[in-house]
Amino acid sequence: MNKDNPQAAERPLKLLLVHPSPQALSLFKLLVGRAEGRYQLDWCPDVASAQEWLSLHWIDLILLNNTQRADRPIDQLGLNNADTSSIPVVVLARSLSLSQGQRLIHDQGAADYLSVLQLSLDSFEKAMHHALERHEQRGILHRISHQDIVTGTANRQLFFQRLQLAMTEASATQKSLAMLQLNLDGFQKINDSLGNDLGDDILRETVQRLLLTLPSIEHLARISDNQFGILVKGMEHREQVMTTVFQLQQLFSQPYTLDTGQINLGCSIGASFYPDTAVTLDELVRQAGIAMHEAKRHAGVSHHLFEPGMDSKTSAAFSLEADFRRALRRNELRLFYQPRVDVRSEDILAAEGLIRWQHPTRGLLNPAEFIPMAERTGLIVPMGYWVIHQACQDANFLRSQGLPAIQLSINLSFRQFSDPMLTRTITRIFETTRADPASIEFELTESAMMKSEQQTTQCIRELTELGACFALDDFGTGYSSFAHLQRLPLSRLKIDKSFVQEAADCPDNEVIVRAMISLAHNLRMQVVAEGVETPEQLLFLRQYRCNQAQGFLFGRPQPFSVLCDLLEGQQYQRQSTSQELANPRQSSNS
């Protein structure tokens, strides 16, 4: 039975014959008359009059003559659309073989076919029955393949089909449209922690909220796990979309009420526009996604409208990510070192390893140009292991050349501490490189330490047992307490440069730095001052017994070869000084 009209069984089936021949009309009237009122027949001689008729009347089924032998006769009526809610069509021809009829059904969308030369009431009624049954089955399959099971909205495929049709309509009427991409921020975490059933409840409530702002469900689709596509049609200018956006923001600022209580979810909305910013479907969808990701930079319920130029920035970001993945394989990363000196003697005691990227076309890139991307994508983890491996090799080289046995210090990010294989991987690196773990110092920030305190503490203890040392970086900028510092086996505190650089001139900062130095010494830790740039700052640190200093006053980050030269020069100077002390008479004679 026709899915669009369940009452069809209780009344005559309305048929429309589209055929230029009055004789054909007489033939079908004769058949319908013999069917005892089961059918009602109307007639149009051509496609144009049939289209006009269809716009004014309800029809259950069309009998379409294929006089012109068109490749796709059904397309003549313009009935096919994204929802397959078109009227079933039985194609007529003077004579049709079985293979020709099957092609009409399977390749061209006919509901059935009839050969006029073999027409009888029995063949006619079988064709009507099969056509309606096939059309209903197609509708069921269409709903299964084009509808989201959880929410009942269109899925991604159907939404894009509707979007393409809307773009065609907008072009014909010289109107604009917008695509909104709405992301439920934090949904995946809720779904994982509370279960799929409650997650599905949130999705269904989300649809109910969205429908409060939309003219019909046909303007909405679930296009991924936690994302919805929204179509806004008939706009004169792009600012009109803000009415819908503001309504959505107001709705999604309210908490979700579940059996377990209330839950607040953030919401990020991105908007793109046809034809203002996009002229193709792919552009429209891609731009909405770019704008949505831009909105996600802001917490809570936020939105962003796509602007020209945003796609080039995104393309550049994707290109940088792809290049960085290759960089890890092609040995394009470099480890530079900044000396760390004894505050009193200014001898180099350690050096901090700082990563650089020797990009094949963009030259040497500083960390600020790629570390945020590496953090966001998780590439910071393999990059971090490369840094550890390289530092171990560099420490081995210093030992093999008989240079001063300084510590090489490298940073560990929060993402690395989240890796359950961290301790095992670092242990394997020490074993394969045969580096002395005592030659490596790991630095971590207060924020990294606090995000996963239990995991971080366990990793620090296990690596300390191997012989490695740990320093707390950027001390004073985070939230570590005296109790935390007591519990962790830390060797050094590194005072953040923001305190050091103003300590000599600002009484408040001077008091803070003095307190930090005293705290570290009371905990039997050494103190490293970062960002030392002037002799006055160094003098202040000497006065209050800071142990080590690092900054531009002693050297900028340089390639490992430069560090080796500095250590060789320092070694030569020591040897010369020792010889002078051992032979004072020879030194004075010379």
* 132-170 pLDDT, tens digit each: 988 887 777 767 777 888 898 999 888 999 999 999 999
Report how far residue 42's alpha carbon sits from residue 64's, in angstroms, rounded to the nearest whole number.
12
Quote the pLDDT of residue 314. 63
Quote the pLDDT of residue 483. 59
Quote the pLDDT of residue 504. 66
Quote the pLDDT of residue 2. 41
pLDDT at 182 over 90: yes
Structure tokens at 584: 């004072």
Contact 166, 231 (CB under 8 A): yes
pLDDT at 4 over 50: no
Which is nearest to 302 in space by CA: 251, 273, 272, 266?
A: 266
Q: Which amino acid is it at 425?
A: T
pLDDT at 481 over 60: no
Kindly list the distances between the CA atom of residue 281 and the CA atoms of 56, 166, 181, 380, in Å, as whole numbers in the listed order: 32, 10, 14, 35
Question: How many CB atoms are closer than 10 A to CB 157?
Answer: 14
Q: Per-residue pLDDT tens for 538-571?
A: 999 999 999 999 999 999 999 999 999 999 999 8
Q: Which residues pair with 358 in a beta bridge?
A: 364
Q: Which residues pair with 472 in a beta bridge?
A: 444, 493
Quote the pLDDT of residue 588. 52
- Kindly report the pTM of this predicted structure: 0.54
pLDDT at 83 over 60: no
Comparing 345 with 260, which gets the higher pLDDT?
345
The whole-number average pLDDT for the span 195-203 is 87
Share of the chain above pLDDT 70, in %: 88
Report how far residue 556's alpha carbon sits from residue 566's, in angstroms, rounded to the nearest whole number.
12
Quote the pLDDT of residue 376. 74
Contact 215, 231 (CB under 8 A): no
Contact 379, 373 (CB under 8 A): yes
Contact 529, 495 (CB under 8 A): yes
Structure tokens at 120: 């009888």
**Mean pLDDT taken over the chain:** 85
Q: Which of 125-129, 368-372, 485-489, 523-527 has the lowest mean pLDDT?
A: 485-489
Q: Which of 167-176, 487-496, 536-545 has the lowest mean pLDDT?
A: 487-496
pLDDT at 1 over 50: no
Quote the pLDDT of residue 335. 96
Q: Per-residue pLDDT tens for 230-283?
A: 999 989 888 889 999 999 999 999 999 877 778 888 899 999 999 999 999 999
